[in-house]
Amino acid sequence: MSRAFVNEDAGSGGPRRDYHLPERDDPEYDRVAARVLLEAARIGETDSAEEATGYRWGDPKLAKHVRVVLAAAEREGDDRLEQLARRFLR
């Protein structure tokens, strides 16, 4: 078969990067997961972050954490993070 039709990355599974998440039962997990999703969206890797965190974009369980990030982004003038946080909260 021609190499043009072989996807060497197919079936590699798992997120593309290590997001340094705490253990799932850590009380900080949701806060960190919210930040991971937002930062991954900034670089176009939302799917990978969703797979790594187990949360989907816009998950209401993370809304309180995203609102904290939004407030910080507004204070710091991080327009892109503010935009992403607002989009998450829609």
Taking each helix axis from N to C end, the angle separating 63-76 and 29-42, rounded to the nearest 10 degrees, works out to 50
Q: What is the pLDDT of residue 83?
A: 98
Q: How far apart are CA 44 and CA 72, in angstroms?
A: 21
pLDDT tens digits for 71-80? 999 999 999 9
- Could you tell me the residue ranges of all domains in the chain? 27-89
User: How does pLDDT run across 1-28, given as a tens digit for each residue?
Assistant: 444 444 444 444 554 678 899 999 999 9
